[in-house]
Amino acid sequence: MFYGEYKHTIDRKGRLIIPAKFRLLTKENYIDKLYVTRGLDKCLFVFVEEEWKAQEHKFRSLPFTKRDSRKFNRLYFSGACEASLDKQGRILIPKYLKEYAQIKKEVIIVGVSNRFEIWDEGVWKEYYKNTQSSFEDIAEELIDPPDKF
């Protein structure tokens, strides 16, 4: 659903224009709401409502008696906010989420199939630089794991 990498600027009021291709997808699929929350690796995750509900169902099923489940759910859901596109195709990113993701002004929006991610440009460049060399090794391990025999 969401693919590609786009450079955008967040304005002083915390508004971020969503890439045109992503806006078109939301319009074509009658998507009114997006959900933004703390992601992993210092980025923000953005889900359409249907995918957000699936994530919520999955994480709600984690046992609350397990300390790590409670920690994860607290951080993940307490950071979440509902966002709607304004007439200019922007969403408002709350200050606490910008601080979490170290977002200053320039951002990279990355499509990751069922979600898109918002990264501070400098954080994304560093992440990409540190992980691109292991891309093939990761693919080999995840997609075609070695036999355990």
CB proximity list for 54: less than 8 A, separation 6 or greater: none
Residue 70 sits at φ, ψ, to 5 deg, of -60, -45
Question: Residue 140: its pLDDT value, please?
Answer: 82
Say yes or no to pLDDT of 123 above 60.
yes
In this prediction, what percent of the chain has a pLDDT beyond 90?
81
Tens of pLDDT, residues 68-99: 999 999 999 999 999 999 999 999 999 999 99
Distance between CA 14 and CA 9 in Å, rounded? Answer: 10
Q: Is the pLDDT of residue 51 over 90?
A: yes
The predicted model gives 119-137 an average pLDDT of: 92
Contact in structure between 107 and 6 (CB atoms under 8 Å): no
pLDDT at 141: 82
Q: What backbone torsions phi and psi does residue 8 show, to the nearest 5 degrees?
A: -140, 175
Q: How many residues does the chain have?
A: 149
Distance CA 141, CA 75 (A): 29
Token pair in block for residue 35: 């959900």
Q: Which domains does the chain have, with CATH numbers?
A: 2-120 (3.40.1550.20)
